[in-house]
Structure 1
Amino acid sequence: MGTKQASQQPKPDWLRIKLTTDGHYKEIKDMMRSKTLHTVCEEARCPNIYECWANRTATFMILGDICTRACRFCAVNTGMPTELDLQEPQRVAEAAEQMGLNHCVVTSVARDDLQDGGAMIFAETVKAIRAKLPLCSVEVLIPDFMGNRDALQIVMDAKPDILNHNIETVERLSDRVRAKAKYARSLELLRRAKEMQPRIPTKSSMMLGVGETREEILAAMDDLRAVDCNILTLGQYLQPTPNHLAIERYVHPDEFASLKEEGLRRGFSHVESGPLVRSSYHAHEQTKSAAQAQAATN
Structure 2
Amino acid sequence: MKLPSWISKEKVVLRDLHKIKSALREKSLHTVCEEAMCPNRGECFKKGTATFLLLGNICTRNCRFCSVPKGKPLPVDEKEPENIAKFVFENKIKYAVLTMVNRDDLPDGGAYHIKKTVEEIKKLNPSVKVEVLVGDFKGNLRDIDTVLEANIDVFNHNIEMVKRLFPKIRPKADYKTSLKILNYVFKNYSIPVKSGFMVGLGESKEEIIDLMKDLKANGVSILTIGQYLRPSMKNAEVKKYYTPEEFKEFEEIGLNLGFDFVFSSPFVRSSYMAEKVFEGLKK
- The answer to whether the superposition gives a TM-score over 0.5 is yes
8 Å contact 1:45–1:75 — kept in the other structure? Answer: yes
Q: 1:57-85, CA deviations, whole angstroms, 9 ceiling, x for partnerless residues?
A: 11000000110011000000000112211
| CA–CA distance in structure 2, aligned partners of residues 20 and 239 of structure 1 | 19
| CA–CA distance in structure 2, aligned partners of residues 29 and 91 of structure 1 | 14
- 5+ residue gaps, structure 2: none
| CA–CA distance in structure 2, aligned partners of residues 174 and 291 of structure 1 | 33
| CA–CA distance in structure 1, aligned partners of residues 208 and 202 of structure 2 | 11
8 Å contact 1:156–1:196 — kept in the other structure? Answer: no
Residue correspondence of structure 1 range 163-182 to structure 2 within 5 A: 163-182=155-174
Residue 77 (structure 2) aligns with: 85
Displacement of 1:25? 1.7
Q: Secondary structure at the match of 1:78?
A: coil
What fraction of aligned residue pairs are identical, expressed as a percent?
Answer: 43
Q: Secondary structure at the match of 2:194?
A: strand
1:76 lines up with 2:76 in the alignment = no
Task: Name the stretch that deviates more: 24-33 or 145-154.
Answer: 24-33
What is the aligned counterpart of 1:40 among 26, 32, 46? Answer: 32
What is the aligned counterpart of 1:225 among 200, 216, 241? Answer: 216
Residue correspondence of structure 1 range 20-169 to structure 2 within 5 A: 20-21=12-13, 23-169=15-161
| CA–CA distance in structure 2, aligned partners of residues 136 and 208 of structure 1 | 32
8 Å contact 1:57–1:101 — kept in the other structure? Answer: yes
Superposed structure 1 runs of 4+ greater than 4 Å apart: none
8 Å contact 1:22–1:54 — kept in the other structure? Answer: no
Displacement of 1:285? 1.4
| CA–CA distance in structure 1, aligned partners of residues 236 and 57 of structure 2 | 21
Task: Name the stretch that deviates more: 125-134 or 164-173.
Answer: 125-134
| CA–CA distance in structure 1, aligned partners of residues 166 and 99 of structure 2 | 20
Number of aligned residue pairs? 283
- 5+ residue gaps, structure 1: 1-8, 293-298
Displacement of 1:24? 4.5
| CA–CA distance in structure 1, aligned partners of residues 282 and 107 of structure 2 | 33
| CA–CA distance in structure 1, aligned partners of residues 76 and 171 of structure 2 | 22
CA RMSD between the two structures:
1.1
Task: Name the stretch that deviates more: 18-27 or 253-262.
Answer: 18-27
